[in-house]
Amino acid sequence: MPDDETGSGTESQAAAGAGARAGAEPAAGSAARRESRARLDPRASRLRGRVSFRGWGGVAGMATACVLTAVGTLLPLSQGAVSHLPATGHSISMVEPAKADACTSPEASLTPSSADGPNILAIKKRGKLIVGVDQNSYRWGYRDPATGSLKGFDIDLARAIAEDILGKPDAVIFRAIPTNQRIPALNNGTVDIVVRTMTINCARIKQVAFSTAYFQAGQQVLAPKTSKITGYNASLKGKRVCSAEGSTAYEELEKNSFGAIFKDKHDGKPADDDVLTVSNQLDCLVRLQEGLVDAVVTDNALAAGQAAQDPTVELKGGKPFTTEFYGVATKLGKDDVVRRVNQVLEEYRQTAWKAAYQDWLADDLPGISGPPAPKYRDG
């Protein structure tokens, strides 16, 4: 039996899980959902007094199926089953010359190696790889309501890394981390790596180390199908827009919000109501369902899963307005971990990546032919 670690949940439980397509229970009545969220998080009762629930179906029925992260905390998770994936696909790598100051290609990483450096040896001595993940992002990292096990594209990759280092895909401890705690979790040693739809960018490579890219995504607007919002443009003016703290979506809104309201009155302070900026991105879908916000800005890869859960919402604007790459993150200085993960990814791109894409993402993000080609730096 794999080791288990459990924790308590939050109001994002109201929107978590796989929806009807994963065998969820029918949605409960709106009053029952509000009462459930109020018990899980006192913020829910404060929010309840300001709005009425719209009665949207979709993901709300998953409330009893998942256990999600508490705001501002790191909650450990249990392991679930792993599926072994068939081989397919191939990609060509590129080597970027090292540059002292300019950041023109943040996704360029260290060359791969299977050598056991000091940090890899420490993981082997412990016998478990500790991975920071999400457990409320449908298709990426979520709890199967039928089995209670963690599943998704990121979960498959994390297990592949554990199998390479420790010989077993179940030799892993998953710990749920909010979006804004991914970097602190690495730097304070709570986790060895983070596999959690984490975008590689110039600001973050100064704080943590990244593998090569394993998925290409981009920011997009999610809103009700009946909304007059047409995308990331002037149609957002005066609209309440939700994003996750510490996310690239929030950074884009800071650059240009098109007149949208995207910051809470006491943002970042003890009195912050966490309505427009939230710790976990899925909380934005709850806000949208309850009428507290008019739209959500997030990665199209995550938003597509949410649209699959709730048929009353859709991606706006046709295509993403940014180009971003997901990477596996670890603490700066753990070069042996970076190189080992890159070695795993070299094989994963040629074998399991396409099967994982077909299993988890192809229905909601069709037309992707393969993973991004790895880029390496020569320093």
| 262 shares its domain with 332 | no
Euclidean distance between CA atoms 277 and 254, whole angstroms? 12
Residue 377 lies in a domain: no
Is the per-residue pLDDT at 21 higher than 60? no
| 224 shares its domain with 211 | no
Residue 155 lies in a domain: yes
**pLDDT at position 280, please?**
83
**pLDDT at position 95, please?**
57
| 38 shares its domain with 136 | yes
Residue 366 lies in a domain: no
**pLDDT at position 379, please?**
61
| 252 shares its domain with 200 | no
Is the per-residue pLDDT at 179 higher than 70? yes
What average pLDDT does the structure give for the chain?
Answer: 79
Domain count, the chain: 2
The residue-averaged pLDDT of 345-356 equals 96
Residue 82 lies in a domain: yes
Last residue of a domain, one of 316, 340, 371: 316
**pLDDT at position 96, please?**
55
- pLDDT by residue (tens digit) across 219-259? 999 999 999 999 999 999 999 999 998 899 999 999 999 99
| 60 shares its domain with 164 | yes
Q: How far is CA 43 from CA 180, 273, 337, 347, in A?
A: 18, 8, 39, 45
Nearest Cα to Cα of residue 44 among 30, 58, 57, 55: 30
| 210 shares its domain with 223 | no
How is 122-181 classified by DSSP, letter by letter? HHHHHT-EEEEE-SEETTTEEE-TTT--EESHHHHHHHHHHHHHHS-TT-EEEEE--GGG
Residue 368 lies in a domain: no
- 77: DSSP letter: -
Euclidean distance between CA atoms 40 and 45, whole angstroms? 10
Query: Whole domain around residue 227: which residue ranges?
Result: 219-316
Tokens found for residue 112: 């791969």
- pLDDT by residue (tens digit) across 301-337? 999 989 988 999 999 998 999 999 999 999 999 999 9
Which domain CATH number covers 112? Answer: 3.40.190.10
**pLDDT at position 101, please?**
58
Q: How far is CA 216 from CA 12, 163, 201, 212, 326, in A?
A: 26, 24, 13, 11, 6
Euclidean distance between CA atoms 220 and 37, whole angstroms? 28
| 312 shares its domain with 350 | no
| 42 shares its domain with 132 | yes
Residue 56 lies in a domain: yes
- pLDDT by residue (tens digit) across 110-165? 999 999 999 999 999 999 999 999 998 999 999 998 998 999 999 999 999 999 99
| End-to-end alpha carbon distance in the chain | 42
Is the per-residue pLDDT at 298 higher than 70? yes
Residue 339 lies in a domain: yes
Is the per-residue pLDDT at 295 higher than 80? yes
pLDDT band, very low/low/confident/very high, at 10 (cuts 50, 70, 90): very low
Residue 294 lies in a domain: yes
Burial 200-226 (b: 16+ CB within 10 A, else e): bbeebbeebbbbbbbbbbbbbbbbbee
Is the per-residue pLDDT at 191 higher than 80? yes
| 202 shares its domain with 276 | no
| 244 shares its domain with 356 | no
Pairwise pLDDT comparison (45 vs 377), residue with the higher score: 377
| 203 shares its domain with 348 | yes
Q: Are 276 and 262 in contact (CB under 8 A)?
A: yes
Tokens found for residue 371: 């993973």
| 260 shares its domain with 209 | no
